Amino acid sequence: MTIGDMDSTMQTVLARAWTALVDAAAEPGPFSLGYFGTVGLDGAPQVRAVIIRGADVEAGSVVFATNASSAKVAQLEREPRAALTFFDSEAQVQLRMTGEATVTTDDHPENPYAIVDLSVANVDVLDMSGEERQRYGFTRDGANWDGTALPA
């Protein structure tokens, strides 16, 4: 992850967000449970809870497992753009991500599972822990991240 061009506050915010995701994938934590949004086959939004299994800072990706025959897999094959939102109620931090998902299926007949890998293009961090809310938006281009403060 190349975050050197951002100011130090934003570097810290982004690094903390990814660290929290990597930790949450390794063992249960505040960001283990996310809400994954897709575009339904009829164009309507669809959101469901998922447990993240991996996060890769360098690749900018977040991974979870699902059933290969689930509706979300068919939806992603038609429209890979997707969103993933987390909330850490203790830290009072919301983390929102959008990007494009790649689905890898395993056709094992008894357990047809799929791995969904969200290649994250945008991250939105809303910190509600202080008296004033802080919000930051980040965009990724390859290994480079750019960040800006946003109106909360």
Ligand X SMILES: Cc1cc2nc3c(=O)[nH]c(=O)nc-3n(C[C@H](O)[C@H](O)[C@H](O)COP(=O)(O)O)c2cc1C
Please report, as ranges, the residues that interact with ligand X according to CB under 6 A: 33, 46, 48-51, 64-67, 70-72
**Three-class DSSP category at 77:** helix
Minimum CB distance to ligand X, residue 101 (Å): 12
Minimum CB distance to ligand X, residue 81 (Å): 16
Contact (CB, 8 A) for 117 and 61? yes
Minimum CB distance to ligand X, residue 43 (Å): 15
Nearer of residues 96 and 140 to ligand X, judged by Cβ: 96
Alpha carbons 47 and 6: distance in angstroms, whole number: 32
Q: To 10 degrees, the CA torsion angle through 20, 23, 28, 34?
A: 50
Nearer of residues 11 and 46 to ligand X, judged by Cβ: 46
What is residue 84's DSSP assignment? E
Instruction: From 88, 72, 71, select the one nearest 80 (Cα to Cα).
Output: 72
Contacts 24+ apart (CB under 8 A), 9-12: 10/136, 10/138, 10/147, 10/148, 10/149, 11/147
Minimum CB distance to ligand X, residue 78 (Å): 13
Instruction: From 55, 135, 137, 130, select the one nearest 91 (Cα to Cα).
Output: 130
Nearer of residues 44 and 49 to ligand X, judged by Cβ: 49
**Position closest to ligand X via CB:** 66
Minimum CB distance to ligand X, residue 112 (Å): 12
